[in-house]
Amino acid sequence: MEISRENKIKIEKTADLLKKSRSILFITGAGISADSGLPTYRGIGGLYNNKNTEEGIPIEIALAGETLSSRPELTWKYLGQIEERCRKAKFNRAHEVIAEMEKSFPRVWVLTQNIDGFHQAAGSRNVIDIHGNMYDLYCTACSWRIQLKDYSEIEIPPRCPECGKIARPDVVFFGEMLPYDKTQLLYRELSKGFDLYVTVGTTSVFPYIAKPVYDAKNSGKPCIEINPAQTSVSELADIKLTLTAAQALAAIWSAYKSDE
**How far apart are the C-alpha atoms of 181 and 142, rounded to whole Å?**
20
Catalytic residue among 10, 95, 131, 221: 131
The pLDDT tens digits for 224-233 are 999 999 999 9
Task: Domain ranges for the chain, please list them.
Answer: 5-38+91-131+177-258, 59-88+139-171
- The reply to whether 119 belongs to the active site is no
Of residues 11, 2, 5, the one with CA closest to residue 241: 11
pLDDT of residue 97: 98
pTM above 0.75, yes or no: yes
Rounded mean pLDDT, 227-247:
95
Residues 6 or more apart in contact with residue 26 via CB below 8 angstroms: 98, 108, 109, 110, 111, 112, 198, 199, 200
How confident is the prediction for the chain on average, in pLDDT? Answer: 92
CATH number for the 5-38+91-131+177-258 domain, one of 3.30.565.10, 3.40.50.300, 3.40.50.2000, 3.40.50.1220?
Answer: 3.40.50.1220
